[in-house]
């Protein structure tokens, strides 16, 4: 049986303008994500992993190329369709969780259903949403932490809450940008175990950026972003030697903008 990709990138180009300089980040990225697959995306800091995730999530637009969801272009879809895609088809989690500090875990998980609905619609369906949020928090192991605010939770617990929030709309694909990047090794592995379980039991398709080799090894396959392009991990070593100098020069001449991008995307 040949599976069709659920999510696909074709020839993506993306540059950022820095002063008067055009800095190319992605230079022809092709990627096919099959349903039920766990893909790890690796690459040096500054290689464009978050940029690519933002394009896949339609949080930003490519300069050139296409993003397709179930074979339909989504990158140039109407605002309404892109909102639908983000609110229903995909879930996103980040390195720094992006939970609302003043809300409890349960309220944080309920947030997407409040945003996706009119106030009246939300009130009418509140009980159903609360039950779903409660079930999801139990699913991610936070049954005892529903009324806790982020400040009263550990990093691992916050990421679990963020995962539950991302699952609220029952997405097909979970995009995870360094989900374990701010956690110690053991906690990171427990988050990975949870993601694998969501994949195996619930069939969730996962695209996960990581710089942790052990985490990448647990994925079904690994793709590496090198010199603005994606290579299957096995082929990447030779390419990397070639571009090393260039990439390092670029890294030195640029400020780290990832923090700003990540928080503006949340």
Q: Within positions 48 to 107, which residues make up the interface with Mg ion, using CB under 5 A?
A: 49-50
Q: Within positions 8 to 27, which residues make up the interface with ligand ADP, using CB under 6 A?
A: 16, 18, 25
- Please report whether residue 210 would count as binding Mg ion according to CB under 5 A: no
Q: Please state the φ and ψ torsions of residue 89, each to the nearest 5 degrees.
A: -95, -30
**Nearest residue (CB) to ligand ADP, 44 versus 189:** 44
CB 111 within 8 A of CB 103: yes
- Please report whether residue 210 would count as binding ligand ADP according to CB under 6 A: no
Among 9, 29, 42, 50, binds ligand ADP (CB under 6 A): 50
Q: At what angle do helices 155-167 and 185-202 cross, to 10 degrees?
A: 20
In the three-class reduction of DSSP (H, G, I as helix; E, B as strand; rest coil), residue 240 is classed as helix
- Please report whether residue 81 would count as binding ligand ADP according to CB under 6 A: no
- Please report whether residue 49 would count as binding ligand ADP according to CB under 6 A: yes
- CA–CA distance, 196 with 186 (Å, rounded to integer): 15
Judging by DSSP bridges, how do beta strands 72-73 and 38-42 pair with one another?
Answer: unpaired
Q: Which does 172 bind (CB under 5 to 8 A by kind): Mg ion, ligand ADP, none?
A: none
- Please report whether residue 45 would count as binding ligand ADP according to CB under 6 A: yes
Q: Compute the least distance from the CB of residue 30 to Mg ion, in Å.
A: 20
The dihedral through the CA atoms of 151, 153, 154, 155 has a sign that is negative
Quick one: which segment of 49-57, 197-205, 214-222, 229-237 binds ligand ADP (CB under 6 A)? Answer: 49-57
Alpha helices in 151-212 (DSSP H): 155-167, 185-202
**Nearest residue (CB) to Mg ion, 12 versus 106:** 12
Q: Which does 16 bind (CB under 5 to 8 A by kind): Mg ion, ligand ADP, none?
A: ligand ADP
**Nearest residue (CB) to ligand ADP, 45 versus 147:** 45
**Nearest residue (CB) to Mg ion, 63 versus 258:** 258
Cα separations in angstroms, 44 against 9, 196, 212, 251: 20, 24, 11, 10
Angle at 151 between CA 145 and CA 156, to 5 degrees: 60
Q: Compute the least distance from the CB of residue 211 to ligand ADP, in Å.
A: 9
- CA–CA distance, 204 with 197 (Å, rounded to integer): 9
**Nearest residue (CB) to Mg ion, 60 versus 83:** 60
Number of residues that bind ligand ADP (CB under 6 A): 16
Cα separations in angstroms, 232 against 27, 89, 186, 215, 241: 16, 26, 27, 16, 15
259's tokens: 């923090």
Q: Which does 64 bind (CB under 5 to 8 A by kind): ligand ADP, Mg ion, none?
A: none
- CA–CA distance, 145 with 203 (Å, rounded to integer): 26
- Please report whether residue 207 would count as binding ligand ADP according to CB under 6 A: no
Summarize as ranges the residues that interact with ligand ADP (CB under 6 A): 16, 18, 25, 43, 45-51, 254, 256-258, 261
Summarize as ranges the residues that interact with Mg ion (CB under 5 A): 49-50, 258
């Amino acid at each position: 049986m040949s599976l069709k990709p659920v999510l696909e990138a074709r020839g993506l180009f993306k540059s950022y303008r820095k002063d008067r300089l055009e800095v190319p980040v992605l230079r022809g990225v092709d990627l096919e994500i099959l349903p039920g697959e766990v893909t790890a995306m690796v690459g040096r800091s500054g290689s464009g992993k978050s940029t690519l995730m933002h394009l896949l999530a339609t949080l930003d637009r490519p300069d050139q190329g296409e993003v397709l969801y179930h074979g339909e272009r989504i990158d140039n879809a109407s605002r309404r369709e892109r909102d639908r895609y983000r609110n229903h088809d995909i879930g996103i989690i980040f390195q720094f969780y992006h939970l609302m500090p003043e809300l409890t875990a349960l309220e944080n998980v309920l947030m997407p259903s409040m945003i996706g609905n009119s106030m009246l619609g939300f009130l009418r369906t509140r009980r159903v949403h609360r039950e779903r949020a409660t079930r999801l928090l139990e699913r991610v192991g936070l049954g005892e932490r529903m009324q806790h605010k982020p400040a009263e939770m550990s990093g691992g617990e916050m990421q679990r809450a963020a995962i539950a929030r991302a699952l609220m709309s029952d997405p097909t694909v979970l995009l995870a940008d360094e989900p374990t990047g701010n956690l110690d090794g053991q906690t990171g592995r427990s988050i990975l175990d949870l993601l694998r379980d969501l994949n195996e039991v619930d069939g969730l398709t996962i695209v996960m950026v990581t710089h942790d080799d052990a985490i990448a090894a647990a994925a079904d396959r690994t793709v590496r972003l090198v010199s603005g392009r994606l290579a299957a991990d096995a082929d990447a070593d030779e390419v990397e030697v070639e571009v090393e100098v260039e990439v390092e020069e670029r890294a030195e001449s640029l400020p780290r903008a990832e923090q700003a991008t990540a928080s503006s995307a949340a």
